[in-house]
C-alpha cells in the first residue's frame, strides 16, 4: 500500500469507505499561505455524494476539519492534517457480498495481495478515498493560483458516445459547474443526463472521458527523464479509481498525423519568449512545460457496480451470481472532474517546488 505521493509537496492519505474517517496529511506546504477550512470545503463540496440525481444517494456532509499546520489563518510550513468523518456508512448493505468477488472491482485483488479486505463498500478501494486527494488539491490549487497565476479546469468531455465541444482557451469552472453532469456543452449535457438516467434505471452504468486544461503554467516544470511532467501527470491520473487511459496533447489521435502536420511551429512571442502556433504537444516538450496550456484527457471505465446480474466466484472459487446492492454512481464522470483537477494541481505544485530548488529567476 502506498498512499503517499509527491517529492516536496507530499501527501499521505488514509481512510476506508465505511471506517471512521478519511483524510490526508500534507507535508511540505509552503509557509504563510492564507488558508481556511472554507478553501478546502469548497472543493470537497464539488466532489461529495448526493449532489443531484446523477450521483450516489449516499448522504455525507463531508465536513473537513483542519487539525494542524495552520496558525492565525496561515500555514506554518508544518504538516497540515485534514480529516473528514464518515457519517452515512451502511456496512450491512454489503453483508451478503462479503464472500463474493464483485466483477471488475478490487475485491479479489485486495484479498490476493493482503489476505484480508474490508468488504464494506469497497474499503480503501472506494472512490471515497479521493477525499484526501481533493482536500490536498485545494491547497495546491491555491498556491499555483497565487504564486504562478495558474488555472486548472476539467470537464466531462464525453460520456459513452456523447461528445462535447469545449474551447480549452476560455473554459471556466463556473461554466462547467452550470451543468449537473459537469459537461459545459449544453446540448451534450442534456443528452448525457438522459443517458445516465436511462442507465441508472436499467441497473447499468456508463463511462467516458474527462478533459482538463492548465493555463498559465510557467515554462520549466518537469524533471526528465523519469519524472517528466507528462509522466507524473499520467501516474497521478491513472491512480484515480476507474481510470483506464491518459493522453497529453494530441494523444492517440496525433499518431495519425505526420511529422510536418504534428510539429508545433515556434513563433516569436510578444512576451519575449517563443510560443507555438499549434499545441499538439499539449504544453509539454521533452518532459518540461513550455508555457503553453497543458491539455490532457483521462478515460474512465463504466462504473463496476451495477444492479444487473453477473457471473462471479466466491472465496472458495465456486461459481455464483451477483446483482450488486449498495449506493453508487451510475456514471463517475461528473464527480471525477474535481478529482482530476486535484491530481493535476498536486502534480504541478510538486514540480513547481522542485523547479524552484534549482531555478535562478
Shortest spacing between CB 177 and a second copy, in angstroms: 22
DSSP code string of 147-187: HH--EEEEEEEEETTEE----TTT--HHHHHTSTTS-SSHH
Cα separation, 357 vs 153, in Å, equals 27
- Residue 235 or residue 327: which is nearer to a second copy going by CB? 235
- Residue 174 or residue 358: which is nearer to a second copy going by CB? 358
Residue 212's nearest CA partner among 346, 66, 17 is: 346
Among 1, 52, 169, 174, binds a second copy (CB under 8 A): 1
**Total residues binding a second copy (CB under 8 A):** 155
* DSSP single-letter state for residue 250: T
Shortest spacing between CB 49 and a second copy, in angstroms: 18
Among 40, 276, 344, 348, binds a second copy (CB under 8 A): 276
Q: Which of residues 176-205 bind a second copy (CB under 8 A)?
A: 199, 204-205
CB 171 within 8 Å of CB 184: yes
Q: Which of residues 58-77 bind a second copy (CB under 8 A)?
A: 65-69, 71, 74-77
ω into residue 225 within 30 of 0, thus cis?
yes
CB 264 within 8 Å of CB 277: yes
Shortest spacing between CB 258 and a second copy, in angstroms: 5
Q: State yes or no: residue 38 binds a second copy (CB under 8 A).
A: no
Cα separation, 339 vs 135, in Å, equals 10
Q: Which three cell numbers stand for residue 304?
A: 463496476
Shortest spacing between CB 174 and a second copy, in angstroms: 26
Cα separation, 327 vs 290, in Å, equals 43
Shortest spacing between CB 7 and a second copy, in angstroms: 7
Shortest spacing between CB 183 and a second copy, in angstroms: 14
- Residue 3 or residue 168: which is nearer to a second copy going by CB? 3
Q: State yes or no: residue 272 binds a second copy (CB under 8 A).
A: yes
Q: State yes or no: residue 39 binds a second copy (CB under 8 A).
A: no
Q: Which of residues 281-300 bind a second copy (CB under 8 A)?
A: 281-282, 284-291, 299-300
Q: Which of residues 304-323 bind a second copy (CB under 8 A)?
A: 304-306, 308, 310-313, 317-319
Shortest spacing between CB 82 and a second copy, in angstroms: 10
Cα separation, 16 vs 86, in Å, equals 9
Q: Which of residues 78-117 bind a second copy (CB under 8 A)?
A: 78-81, 83, 101, 103-106, 108-110, 112-117
Q: Which of residues 132-161 bind a second copy (CB under 8 A)?
A: 158, 160-161
Specify burial of residue 4 (Cβ count, 10 A radius: 0-12, 13-18, 19+).
exposed
Among 43, 62, 247, 341, binds a second copy (CB under 8 A): 247
Within 10 angstroms of residue 272's Cβ, the number of other Cβ atoms is 6
Shortest spacing between CB 353 and a second copy, in angstroms: 4
Cα separation, 223 vs 231, in Å, equals 10
Shortest spacing between CB 115 and a second copy, in angstroms: 6
Specify burial of residue 50 (Cβ count, 10 A radius: 0-12, 13-18, 19+).
middle
- Residue 175 or residue 280: which is nearer to a second copy going by CB? 280
Compose the 210-239 pattern: x for residues touching a second copy by CB under 8 A, - for all others: ---------xxxxxxxxxx-xxxxxxxxxx
Q: State yes or no: residue 10 binds a second copy (CB under 8 A).
A: yes
Find all residues with CB under 8 Å of 95, minimum gap 6, and list them. none
- Residue 115 or residue 174: which is nearer to a second copy going by CB? 115
Q: How big is the chain by its Cα radius of gyration, in Å?
A: 21
Q: Which three cell numbers stand for residue 157?
A: 468531455
Q: Is the dihedral of CA 28, 31, 37, 40 positive or negative?
A: negative
Cα separation, 37 vs 51, in Å, equals 20
Cα separation, 236 vs 353, in Å, equals 17
- Residue 165 or residue 277: which is nearer to a second copy going by CB? 277
Shortest spacing between CB 349 and a second copy, in angstroms: 11
Amino acid at each position: 500500500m502506498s498512499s503517499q505521493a509527491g517529492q516536496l509537496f507530499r501527501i499521505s492519505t488514509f481512510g476506508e469507505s465505511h471506517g471512521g474517517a478519511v483524510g490526508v496529511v500534507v507535508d511540505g506546504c509552503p509557509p504563510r499561505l492564507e488558508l481556511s477550512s472554507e478553501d478546502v470545503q469548497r472543493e470537497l463540496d464539488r466532489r461529495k455524494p448526493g449532489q443531484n440525481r446523477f450521483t450516489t444517494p449516499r448522504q455525507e456532509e463531508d465536513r473537513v476539519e483542519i487539525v494542524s499546520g495552520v496558525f492565525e489563518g496561515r500555514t506554518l510550513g508544518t504538516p497540515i492534517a485534514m480529516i473528514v468523518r464518515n457519517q452515512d456508512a451502511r456496512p450491512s448493505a454489503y453483508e451478503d457480498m462479503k464472500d463474493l468477488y464483485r466483477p471488475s472491482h478490487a475485491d479479489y485483488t485486495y484479498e490476493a495481495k493482503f489476505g484480508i479486505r474490508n468488504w464494506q463498500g469497497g474499503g480503501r478501494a472506494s472512490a471515497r478515498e479521493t477525499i484526501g486527494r481533493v482536500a490536498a488539491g485545494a491547497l495546491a490549487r491555491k498556491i499555483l493560483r497565487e504564486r504562478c497565476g495558474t488555472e486548472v479546469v476539467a470537464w466531462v468531455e464525453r460520456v459513452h458516445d456523447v461528445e462535447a465541444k469545449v474551447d480549452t482557451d476560455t473554459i471556466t469552472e463556473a461554466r462547467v459547474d452550470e451543468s449537473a453532469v459537469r459537461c459545459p456543452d449544453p446540448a451534450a449535457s442534456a443528452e448525457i443526463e438522459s443517458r445516465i438516467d436511462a442507465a441508472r434505471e436499467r441497473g447499468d452504468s456508463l463511462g467516458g472521458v474527462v478533459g482538463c486544461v492548465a493555463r498559465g503554467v510557467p515554462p520549466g516544470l518537469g524533471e526528465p527523464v523519469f519524472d517528466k511532467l507528462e509522466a507524473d501527470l499520467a501516474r497521478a491520473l491513472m491512480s484515480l479509481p476507474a481510470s483506464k487511459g491518459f493522453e497529453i496533447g494530441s494523444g492517440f489521435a496525433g499518431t495519425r498525423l505526420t511529422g510536418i502536420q504534428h510539429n508545433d511551429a515556434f513563433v516569436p512571442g510578444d512576451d519575449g519568449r517563443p510560443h507555438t502556433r499549434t499545441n499538439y504537444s499539449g504544453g509539454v516538450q521533452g518532459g518540461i512545460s513550455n508555457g503553453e496550456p497543458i491539455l490532457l484527457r483521462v478515460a474512465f471505465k463504466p462504473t463496476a457496480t451495477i444492479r444487473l446480474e453477473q457471473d462471479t466466484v466466491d472465496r472458495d472459487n465456486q461459481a455464483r451470481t451477483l446483482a450488486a446492492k449498495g449506493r453508487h454512481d451510475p456514471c463517475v464522470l461528473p464527480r471525477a472532474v474535481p478529482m482530476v483537477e486535484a491530481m493535476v494541481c498536486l502534480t504541478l505544485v510538486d514540480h513547481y517546488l522542485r523547479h524552484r530548488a534549482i531555478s535562478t529567476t
